Structure 1
Amino acid sequence: MADDLFQSAGLEKGAPRPLADRLRPQTLDQVVGQDHLLGEGMPLRRMLDVRRLSSIVLWGPPGVGKTTIARLLADKADLEFHQISAIFSGVADLRKVFAEAEARRRTGRGTLLFVDEIHRFNRAQQDGFLPHVESGLITLVGATTENPSFELNAALLSRAQVLTLKRLDDAALDKLLARAEEEEDQRLPLTTAARESLKAMADGDGRFLLNLVEDIFAEPVDGEDLEPDTLSRIVQRRAPVYDKAQEGHYNLISALHKSVRGSDPDAALYWLARMLAGGEDPLYLCRRVVRMASEDIGMADPNALTICLAAKEAYDFLGSPEGDLALAQAVLYVATAPKSNAAYSAFKRAQRAARETGSLMPPRHAMNAPTKMMKDLGYSDGYVYDHDAPDAFAGLDYFPPDMERQSFYEPVPRGLEKDIRKRLEFWNARRKSREPDRKTDSGEG
């Protein structure tokens, strides 16, 4: 099959071919790293066993076999394989594909339409597949690196099964390296450490790994196995898969935030480094870390907010890469600080109460009385200046008179909130001793 594809591209059978093309699997059993889909009893294998291949969406990172699997599925199901790319195709191309599929069906042969980067089609174009999928004119296999639930129409998703492909793990990459060495009939001139480094450079992308292998085989060596530092000079490390506007962005910032909340400073530093390596805007990270200081630490260590704001100022002053260290320091501070979401929860409860109670007025003793008329109306009546009271606490109630007193802020017994909790308990006890006077203090009665 691979030779036919090569010739169809206008190249002779004996012409040089890339290693990745020469090692393209010829059967589903040769596909590595996707046993959860292709193993015995797994989804794709079950479809083929009962000869009922439904439309599917293959979701996974680059270089894990999406195109190869689609091609082999067509071969196994005895369907004509037709491939298009959503990047280069438009409505006219789709109409042509559907017309060819209709003509093919009249001869008794079905069509598997493989759409690479299917998420690049707009909503109207995606809807264009629906009648042809429903009628059985085509078996649609879409490939995407983006989360289908965000990028594909619900109507299309309801007619296709989403199957997730995994990035290739070390075991799968080892199989590819062994096949490459067998194909080239020579061993890769790498030390054990350099071989591990090579797999790390590929970052789970099998196609990229084989391209690196081809570069290594083309490099003259003096008989000594390459060490990791020499290997790095010969081949280029694969850029991490990270799209600042898509799901990868949200997954990584979620991992960073949850690592901080879970008091795991090492994991937090790792996710911070991953995002910076992927090109994330450090100021975006500064904003998120400031949020963590208020949401997850709050009054347990109020200094966290100051540290995080200082990190933002330091980054503004230094820029990258020097300013990145200030951001790392802030991440370490919030990850190791005592945790409390009491302030966050208290504010949410207060917001809910504010929405529910409408326009209740403050008690009169809490009102401002800058004019004689306002004083005559009782504004500020009953107010006691707290600094003149014992322990600088008069114990007045400042909730609206027509609203039951509520408790929003509940300090946790950690960090500085342990002391705050004691003070609140003391003040609440003093305030309760004045409760019979509440209506009087409010100007009622």
Structure 2
Amino acid sequence: MTDLFGDKGAAADSNRPLAERLRPTTLSEVVGQDHLLKEGGTLQRMLDAGWLASLILWGPPGSGKTTIARLLAEEVDLHFEQISAVFSGVADLRKAFDAAKMRKQNGKGTLLFVDEIHRFNRSQQDGFLPYVEDGTVTLIGATTENPSFELNGALLSRCQVLVLERHNEQSFAALLERAEEVEGRPVPLDEEAREALAALADGDGRFFLNMVETVFKTGTEPLTRSQLSQVISKKAPAYDKDRDGHYNLISALHKSLRGSDVDAALYWFSRMMDGGEDPLYITRRLVRFAVEDIGMADPNAVLQANAARDAYQFLGSPEGDLAIAQAVIYLATAPKSNAGYAAFKLAAKSARKNGSHMPPMHILNAPTHLMKDLGYGDGYAYDHDAEDGFSGQNYFPDDMPREAYYKPVERGFERDIAKRLDYWKRLRAKRQTSGGDR
């Protein structure tokens, strides 16, 4: 059959963005999501069984959420309806649901794809529930944010959450190969520049293909890595200071510090700074880490963390950034102990459990004659006057048995503390045996 459009059709196709020309037409062409789409994958098992559940596709930008939703509709023969939570309101939702009802009456199902579904408020999300429950629509929501925080529990209970992975070197290589097939020539980059291109994309397939298209338009002479940096710009870091990326990176920093991995801690610190995080937020977390995960194993840790905060406030960026980096190094390489943190939690639990016990009479002050007559302060042993500066008296309530909360570890300064506690424990037992207070 003769092409009705001839060369004009080919020209029109070549004017379309490369990412659009390479958009997969079947699920088998989707790159980078084998854990969902290949044999044994979650989606493939559903399709093999001839059905499709309502889904939440959670993944980074450019991972293929929209494409997968569109192709799923074709696989199960559903009408594909797409709306964006950024631009749509209640009226748009009502319109989509009414149209889906009409299709259902005529024997045709609807796959309703909602991009950025986390942008709908809770009442709008609740509006989906009856239409998902009665099968008016099969819902597929796409989000870059953690559904656990951004979506209603009721909606989540009616959908399966599938996690899409960011593109890696292998999937970028597959995309590049397809781009070269479509363009009919190799991408004009030397080997080093090819590797750099994938790093610049930061896991975003759409951004990667847009960069490849830009490179193709530079001509046929291969570009070096330095020339590439002049032609295209790096993708802005995927980091939102008040959303999931923020919590993921601070968690990575905290756990790297706890694991005494100084290089990983410096990497995550740098990622947060590169993403525009407030440096004072990082210093607050460092202070918290110093008391929670180092504690008395190195009492200087909290001083170093606070010093980094003070230095940053005094110097500002970029000079003050180094003070924070120095604190990161100190905390990562310090001995670790959560004994103080654990002791505080145990003591707090005991305080709630045991109620309002009075202190023993001998450690109560007696500022009035009446209080002295009642026995306040009677029998108190002044520790500085006792042998070894330790009286061994009981300081727990009289009607409460002695409890042990603080258990120092054999690391850092706490090794010395443990020796002191053991020494006082022996003295206390000795003086109790000789007739003193328990």
Q: Which TM-score tier does this pair reach, normalised by the shorter chain?
A: over 0.9
For residue 277 of structure 1, the aligned residue among 265, 274, 279 is 274
Aligned to 2:7: none
- CA distance in 1 between counterparts of 2:219 and 2:416 reads 70
Aligned to 1:318: 315
Aligned to 2:342: 345
CA shift in 2, pair 1:14/1:418, >3 Å: closer
What does 1:39-54 correspond to in 2, within 5 Å?
39-54=38-53
- CA distance in 1 between counterparts of 2:391 and 2:43 reads 73
Residue-by-residue CA offset, 1:151-187 (whole Å, 9 max, x unaligned): 2222222222211111011100111111112222222
User: What secondary structure does 1:84 align onto?
Assistant: strand
**Paired AA for residue 132 in structure 2:** V
The answer as to whether partners of 2:13 and 2:21 remain within 8 angstroms in 1 is no
For residue 382 of structure 1, the aligned residue among 359, 363, 379 is 379
The two structures have a TM-score, normalised by structure 2, of 0.93
Aligned to 1:90: 89
- CA distance in 2 between counterparts of 1:70 and 1:287 reads 42
- CA distance in 2 between counterparts of 1:158 and 1:376 reads 67
Q: Which moved more, 1:196-205 or 1:391-400?
A: 391-400
Q: Which moved more, 1:13-22 or 1:334-343?
A: 13-22
What does 1:176-255 correspond to in 2, within 5 Å?
176-220=175-219, 223=221, 225-255=222-252
Query: Shift of residue 430 of structure 1?
Result: 1.0
- CA distance in 1 between counterparts of 2:100 and 2:359 reads 74
Query: Shift of residue 306 of structure 1?
Result: 0.9
Is structure 2 residue 405 aligned with structure 1 residue 418?
A: no
Aligned to 2:71: 72
Residue-by-residue CA offset, 1:380-423 (whole Å, 9 max, x unaligned): 22223322322222222222222211111111111111111111
Q: Which moved more, 1:358-367 or 1:72-81?
A: 358-367
- CA distance in 2 between counterparts of 1:298 and 1:262 reads 15
What does 1:103-114 correspond to in 2, within 5 Å?
103-114=102-113
User: What secondary structure does 2:57 align onto?
Assistant: strand
CA shift in 2, pair 1:305/1:75, >3 Å: same
Task: Report how many aligned residue pairs link the two structures.
Answer: 428
- CA distance in 2 between counterparts of 1:384 and 1:53 reads 77
Runs of 4+ in 1 over 6 A off after TM superposition: none
The answer as to whether partners of 1:168 and 1:205 remain within 8 angstroms in 2 is yes
Query: Shift of residue 303 of structure 1?
Result: 0.9
Question: How much is the aligned-residue C-alpha RMSD, in angstroms?
Answer: 2.0
Aligned to 1:330: 327
- CA distance in 1 between counterparts of 2:365 and 2:192 reads 74
User: What secondary structure does 1:195 align onto?
Assistant: helix
- CA distance in 2 between counterparts of 1:369 and 1:430 reads 28
For residue 367 of structure 2, the aligned residue among 370, 373, 380 is 370
Structure 1 unpaired stretches of 5+: 1-11
- CA distance in 1 between counterparts of 2:182 and 2:224 reads 23
Query: Shift of residue 228 of structure 1?
Result: 2.3
**Paired AA for residue 400 in structure 2:** M
The answer as to whether partners of 1:363 and 1:441 remain within 8 angstroms in 2 is no
The answer as to whether partners of 1:382 and 1:441 remain within 8 angstroms in 2 is no
Is structure 2 residue 289 aligned with structure 1 residue 292?
A: yes
Residue-by-residue CA offset, 1:17-70 (whole Å, 9 max, x unaligned): 111111111111111001111112322122222321222111111101111111
- CA distance in 1 between counterparts of 2:12 and 2:107 reads 31
**Paired AA for residue 44 in structure 1:** L
User: What secondary structure does 2:394 align onto?
Assistant: coil
Q: Which moved more, 1:355-364 or 1:190-199?
A: 355-364
For residue 406 of structure 2, the aligned residue among 406, 409, 414 is 409
- CA distance in 2 between counterparts of 1:413 and 1:152 reads 45
- CA distance in 2 between counterparts of 1:141 and 1:102 reads 17
CA shift in 2, pair 1:70/1:381, >3 Å: same
State the percentage of identical aligned residues: 64
- CA distance in 1 between counterparts of 2:248 and 2:396 reads 42
- CA distance in 2 between counterparts of 1:139 and 1:376 reads 80
The two structures have a TM-score, normalised by structure 1, of 0.91
- CA distance in 1 between counterparts of 2:135 and 2:176 reads 40
The answer as to whether partners of 1:368 and 1:380 remain within 8 angstroms in 2 is yes
**Paired AA for residue 34 in structure 1:** Q
Aligned to 1:267: 264
What does 1:27-38 correspond to in 2, within 5 Å?
27-38=26-37
